[in-house]
Amino acid sequence: MAAREIGTWCSCRVCSEIRSTIDRITRVLEIYGWMLDAYVVDFFQDNVWQKVPKCWTNFLDGASPEELGNWMLKESGSKLVWPLSLLALRAFIESVEIPRDHKGTSKFKCSSDDTRFVNELVTDDEKKAGVLGQFANLFTKHVKKKKRYEIDVLSQIAAKCANAAGCKCIVDIGAGMGHLARALAYGHQLCVVCVEQNESLLETARKWDEQLKVSITKHVSDFSGKKPQHVSLLVGVTRAARQQLANQLSGIFVEKFHDNSGFGLIGLHPCGDLAATLLKFYASEEKARFICIVGCCYMKLTMGDNTDRGYPMSQYLLENNNYELSYAAMEVACHAIEKHCDKLKASDYSDLKVHAYRAVLECLLIEKNPSLRHAQLKSTKIKLDTTFREYCSSVTANLDVQHQPTKADVESDVVKSFLEQWKRVLIFASLRLFIAPLVESLVLFDRFLYLSELNLSPSLKAEFDSRVSPRNILLVSTKKKTDTLSKLDSYVD
């Protein structure tokens, strides 16, 4: 098969399906996207419940949160006859979203041989092998359970990518205290450079590097793992900044590790535009041989006509859809639908009633001063027996006294009427989470096509348990050893 020209659309079945899926998602969001754009806090102020389809509200008023939780997770047990339009929407979302089951084999992969379903799961034997498996308790010191799990999975995948790309060097962007870097360096014997702006985190990382190496050496006298290098470098968005960063990183790998074979890029939940910057860096720099990133904080993406935008990135979306996503839609796509539904199913949603409390309080604040709409309030944890008055007193403590709700305010008949509708507020918040996977899929498909258009063969697959790590879909691309990037300059901003 002849090589595809960079900048043209890939004709493989997977990329063709993704472009079609993007078109379908945008059409559905034109109908139901308003729910994602709406803020739950405005539920009463904007009379949101009246905007939801009448057949839905009539039905949902009679359904329990427990039944809704089961239905959203597509679990059996409900004997209710759900509205056909809701059933159709659920079937559509299931057909177009990126599957979130990390145990499944479903994987979107751009390839000339048209292979969509590829299983590259790490085996149990591989998990137990090596220093990382033998002395797991040493590596997990200082690390919380969620991060420990993510590091275990991502370090193994990154090591496989490094082997496939023919390089032993990895750059961890936003490395923090270096937990992932130590797993890669000491557990997989890779050369790792950590880029972190916070000097305090850098110092802590260096200290823990040394402590871990000393601990391992007590058990393995001939241990040869190389300590990660922690540096503070600018990860810029311009082409000149990316080139400077590539030169700096190459210099460090040559000086510290005597290796000039190139490096891989990893990012465990890079925030907002950082993920897009890493993708552009990978695409434009020949020394960058592979990339593994799990996105996060989509609401912080720069959108629109800005050349430094984080969304959309692909020419397909720019030329054919350019579907704009609101801050609210991007923000709700960062939440865990599985954990939310688990609470609904278990009738453990007392803390979720805070949505209703906040929506009622919004009306009181706007009545006192319209400029207080969407005001930043103090955060508080709501308990089972927390009253609305107690809630208001706690979260408005940072406001001027004249703006804080009075006893008469919170005990008015209007407020009591609103509070009785707490279930409607909860259901609307749940509906937003139900539709939100369309947003995350759209953002990740856009990144997939961006790499595909540059002939960089991306793949997308859920690799983390979504109940442990809600943003669980990994975007991976590995360059062939013969790849040349000389034609990319005109296609990468």
Q: Give backbone dihedrals phi and psi of 229, rounded to 5 degrees, phi first.
A: -105, 125
How is residue 406 annotated by DSSP?
Answer: P
**pLDDT score of 122:** 46
For the entire predicted model, the pTM comes to 0.91
CA torsion angle 210 212 218 224 (round to 10): -70
Radius of gyration of the chain (CA): 25
Q: Helix or strand or coil: residue 245? A: helix
Please tell me the distance from the alpha carbon of residue 156 to that of residue 59, in angstroms, as a whole number.
47
**pLDDT score of 430:** 97
**pLDDT score of 5:** 65
Q: Give backbone dihedrals phi and psi of 133, rounded to 5 degrees, phi first.
A: -75, -35
Domains of the chain from N-terminus onward? 52-96+336-434 (no CATH), 120-335+458-478 (3.40.50.150)
Cβ proximity of 257 and 226 under 8 Å:
yes
Task: State CA 452 to chain mean position distance.
Answer: 20
Task: State CA 426 to chain mean position distance.
Answer: 23
Cβ proximity of 488 and 283 under 8 Å:
yes
Q: What is the mean pLDDT of each run of 10 residues along the chain (493 residues)?
A: 64 94 95 96 97 97 94 83 96 95 88 43 44 63 87 92 92 92 90 93 91 84 83 87 91 93 94 93 94 94 83 90 86 93 89 90 96 91 86 93 94 96 96 97 96 94 94 92 51 58
Please tell me the distance from the alpha carbon of residue 297 to that of residue 335, in angstroms, as a whole number.
10
**pLDDT score of 117:** 33
CA of 431: how far to CAs of 71, 178, 405, 472, in Å?
11, 38, 30, 21
CA of 293: how far to CAs of 104, 153, 155, 428, 461, in Å?
19, 12, 12, 32, 11
Q: Is 368 exposed, middle or buried (0-12, 13-18, 19+ CB in 10 A)?
A: middle
Q: How many CB atoms lie within 10 A of CB 91?
A: 11
- Does the CA dihedral 47-53-55-59 come out positive or negative? negative
DSSP per-residue string spanning 183-222 = IIIIIH--EEEEE-S-HHHHHHHHHHHHHHHHHHHHH-TT
Cβ proximity of 373 and 366 under 8 Å:
yes
The angle that helices 13-37 and 84-96 make with each other, rounded to 10 degrees, is 130
Please tell me the distance from the alpha carbon of residue 36 to that of residue 333, in angstroms, as a whole number.
9
Kindly state the tokens that stand for 206: 């260096």
Cβ proximity of 56 and 85 under 8 Å:
yes
**pLDDT score of 124:** 43
Q: How many CB atoms lie within 10 A of CB 217?
A: 12
DSSP per-residue string spanning 279-298 = HHHHHH-TTEEEEEEEEE-G
Kindly state the tokens that stand for 346: 């278990």
Question: Could you report the per-residue pLDDT of 132-184, keeping only the tens digit for each?
Answer: 555 666 777 778 889 989 999 999 999 999 999 999 999 999 889 999 999 99
**pLDDT score of 111:** 75
Cβ proximity of 290 and 264 under 8 Å:
yes
